[in-house]
Amino acid sequence: MTFSVVIPAHNEEALIGGCLDSVERAARRAGRPVEIIVVLNRCTDGTEDVVAGRAVVVREDTPNLSRIRNAGAARAMGEVLVTLDADSRMAENMLAEVERALAMGRYVGGGVRVKAERYSLGIVSSALLVFIPFAVRGISAGAFWCPLASFRAIGGFNEDYCTAEDYDFAVRLKAYGKAQGKRFGTLWRTHIVTSCRKFDWFGDWFVWRLILRRPWGIVEGFRGRDRELGNRLWYDTGRYHPAKGAPAQSKGDGDG
């Protein structure tokens, strides 16, 4: 079984090295060929220098995570596709667990357990709030894994979505698997660790502040068409650098 790991990267100089380290450790643990694909998106820092020689580089400058991930997947050559964010790190046994799950023949693919790099009441309550729609549908996210053929069969990520593209992808992957008598799986024996940089920038309670200001905001977010929200939280924000502190406010930035 061969793997392709697709990693979107917009000014990720500070964090992508650790992300790549984690994939390389997981590849050694699995003992399988792993192709790492980094999709550079409007990078103005040293991200490309960090990944040089360690990954296949693809460029996609559209501020749309679905299109960015799809651009990487279009280049993929592995039998199994895995998506991972540049500010996340996969556990050493993750790829081995993906292989074990798919070898059972019962799963179409799925998501993985997520750990935060730090915790607070605001972070935990926000995560639980966002998790509810996923739990209701019996899906998960974090890092997706599925046969590349299945990814392409469902058309990859929906590029009409500027938010909640992961939720939409999981729903469609689950439906595709159900038609084949397979289940959507969550890997509980492994995990990813993700940064809390949005909470570092905007405050641990920023999700709740957004909801108080726009009570229907979370519903709009899951509908995937709220470009303003997408710009605010993903596409127009700066990137935190440990040596430089929080990013300066730019279009789309704010405290929630």
Span 177-188, average pLDDT: 98
Residue 147 belongs to some domain of the structure: yes
pLDDT at 213: 82
- The whole-angstrom separation of Cα 114 and Cα 250 is 29
- Residues 218/129, Cβ–Cβ less than 8 Å: yes
Which residues, listed in sequence order, are joined to residue 115 by a DSSP beta bridge? 193
pLDDT tens, position by position, 5-14: 999 999 999 9
Residue 132 belongs to some domain of the structure: yes
Gyration radius of the chain's alpha carbons: 17
pLDDT at 211: 81
Residue 205 belongs to some domain of the structure: no
* CATH number, position 33: 3.90.550.10
Transcribe 161-209 into DSSP letters. Answer: -SS-HHHHHHHHHHHHHHHTT-EEEEEEEEEEEE--HHHHHH-TTHHHH
- Residues 75/152, Cβ–Cβ less than 8 Å: no
Put the strands of the sheet holding 145-147 in their side by side order. Answer: 56-59, 34-40, 3-9, 80-83, 145-147, 107-116, 183-194, 88-90
pLDDT tens, position by position, 78-129: 999 999 999 999 999 999 999 999 999 999 999 999 999 999 999 999 999 8
Residue 64 belongs to some domain of the structure: yes
pLDDT at 252: 31
pLDDT tens, position by position, 235-254: 565 543 333 444 443 333 33
Residue 7 belongs to some domain of the structure: yes
Torsion sign, CA atoms 254, 167, 114, 38: negative
pLDDT at 123: 97
Nearest Cα neighbor of 10 from 55, 65, 81 is: 65
Residue range(s) defining the domain that contains residue 61: 3-195
- The whole-angstrom separation of Cα 246 and Cα 14 is 12
pLDDT at 3: 98
- Angle between helix 206-213 and helix 121-137 axes, rounded to 10 deg: 70
Residue 214 belongs to some domain of the structure: no
Nearest Cα neighbor of 227 from 85, 66, 72, 86 is: 66
Q: Count up the domains in the chain and report the number.
A: 1
Residue 81 belongs to some domain of the structure: yes
- The whole-angstrom separation of Cα 15 and Cα 1 is 28
Residue 248 belongs to some domain of the structure: no
Report yes or no on whether pTM surpasses 0.85. Answer: yes
pLDDT at 222: 59
- Residues 150/176, Cβ–Cβ less than 8 Å: yes
pLDDT at 68: 97
pLDDT at 242: 38
Q: How many CA atoms lie within 13 A of 131 on its CB side?
A: 11
How far CA 109 is from CA of 10, 64, 83, 94, 175, in Å, comes to 27, 23, 12, 13, 11
